Structure 1
């Protein structure tokens, strides 16, 4: 194990924590890691993450790409620093509510707001736990929100990951729809009505009975927030668990299910094989019905042409 100060940090992480050595050569004063990152974030905000390159950033700053490499030696490091800049520090207001639930609800909303402010962050690959100062600050405030609960630290971290996971998925979906609105000029209601019409045309009760029932119930035209509902019900579950701990129940073990004996594993394998056979049969049935519909359309079209020729 490395002792204090002996850990060989990747340069991007060292730059984020402010412990990387500054370059000895290159443009002075006019150039800095901070300016490079700010320029890269500006490009990503306006054109997306794919538009960010060393050449593009250098061009925006009026330098050559080689001059940037003296400060940020790899694009992966630049993207990490961009993500750190866009993440920022969590607002102190997150810990203002009196209850852990109110704090986590605010944490969720702040995460979503940040994703919508910088949607390109959602395109950054996840390569492990974030190890930068701002990311650590968000994790710390999430754990602090649960500080007065009887949850263990493992459980608190799990709850924080649950909330940030909800926020990530919410941000991804909303950002995607926002992009479609911007590119097509459609309003949210227009998109919802088009999707509803497509589902009604393509999804049949025979092939997808529950989905068709949901469509007929107007689920794709419902204006309520499905993400907020999911977060609320997740917090209901956490509240119930905290309540059980306060009543003296033991903490749950990390492994949710005990290991199954060999006989159960064999039975489970047979069940999976049977389920795979059912899925294959259902797929074949859907293909046959699709062929049937196509044949019917072609027959109707031939009949229409025949009638128009008479």
Structure 2
């Protein structure tokens, strides 16, 4: 066994963990890494991430850009520290919200709120897992929620990625709509009606039968939360997976859901059952085709009736 090599930390990571060397000289005590990050966040909150530069931050603080470089040596390090500060850490209430599912749902809501408070965080390119204290706290909270389950650490991390991925995507969409509301002076209902009208004008039943059916059903006017719905369905699947693991439905250490069919491919009853499934799937596809055709014909009849009326 060899001794592990201690990695040389990038300056930004070292600053985040508080282990970077302090500058030997610089402005008076009005300047600090914390004050620089605070000023940069103020700019990003007001004008977006694109407005953040070392010159802009220096001007806000009343110093020269060169003064900042004694504390934060690169803009990339500054953005990492801004992200670290803006995303914060999970609250104690979230970490103790109940069972594993309640805690993960609370983590989702709290993380989403951070994105909506500082939407510019969503504009930061993803270049890997940020190895900072606050990002570690979010991962630890998710893993802690699942600590009492039979899931492996890899499976727990995968579930945590489901939660954080959903919050990131939801944040991107909701922040985008919020920006449209500010720029165009529209409320949510007006934006929804505009989108519905546009899709109704562009989407035909012949070219896009299922999408047109969804439009007719009012999908773009529905005020329900699709992100919470999707997360809930995903966590239900995780719950079923955990239940299967607790019941011992495994094969040589592999989850029951990942059972290799090749192991039983020569079993007669299994082959018959698989054939029946294929035939049922074929029949289902045919039924869906008939349903789409009937829907088109029904809409055509409705259209003719409206015209004749």
**Bin of the TM-score, shorter chain as denominator length:** 0.7 to 0.9
Report how many residues are paired. Answer: 258
Is 2:202 the partner of 1:208?
A: no
Distance across 2 between alignment mates of 1:68 and 1:205? 59
Q: 1:38 to 1:257 in 2, by over 3 A?
A: farther
Distance across 2 between alignment mates of 1:98 and 1:135? 22
Aligned to 1:308: none
Is 2:248 the partner of 1:248?
A: yes
Distance across 2 between alignment mates of 1:252 and 1:77? 42
TM-score for both structures, normalised by structure 2: 0.80
Aligned to 1:293: none
Aligned to 1:192: 192
Q: 1:179 to 1:19 in 2, by over 3 A?
A: same
Once the two structures are TM-superposed, the CA of residue 2 in structure 1 deviates from its matched residue by: 9.6
Q: Which runs of 5+ in 1 are unaligned?
A: 261-310
Distance across 1 between alignment mates of 2:199 and 2:98? 44
Q: 1:53 to 1:129 in 2, by over 3 A?
A: same
Once the two structures are TM-superposed, the CA of residue 257 in structure 1 deviates from its matched residue by: 9.8
Is 2:17 the partner of 1:11?
A: no
Aligned to 1:265: none
Distance across 1 between alignment mates of 2:109 and 2:195? 26
Distance across 1 between alignment mates of 2:195 and 2:19? 51
Distance across 2 between alignment mates of 1:257 and 1:48? 49
Distance across 1 between alignment mates of 2:191 and 2:6? 55
Aligned to 2:28: 28
Distance across 1 between alignment mates of 2:48 and 2:5? 37
Once the two structures are TM-superposed, the CA of residue 256 in structure 1 deviates from its matched residue by: 6.7
TM-score for both structures, normalised by structure 1: 0.80
Aligned to 2:301: none
> What CA deviation, in whole Å up to 9, does each residue of 1:243-272 have, x standing for no partner?
00010023657x9798x9xxxxxxxxxxxx
Is 2:88 the partner of 1:114?
A: no
Aligned to 1:239: 239
Q: What is the RMSD computed on CA atoms of the aligned residues? A: 1.9
| Greater shift in the superposed pair: 90-99 or 53-62 | 90-99
Aligned to 1:140: 140
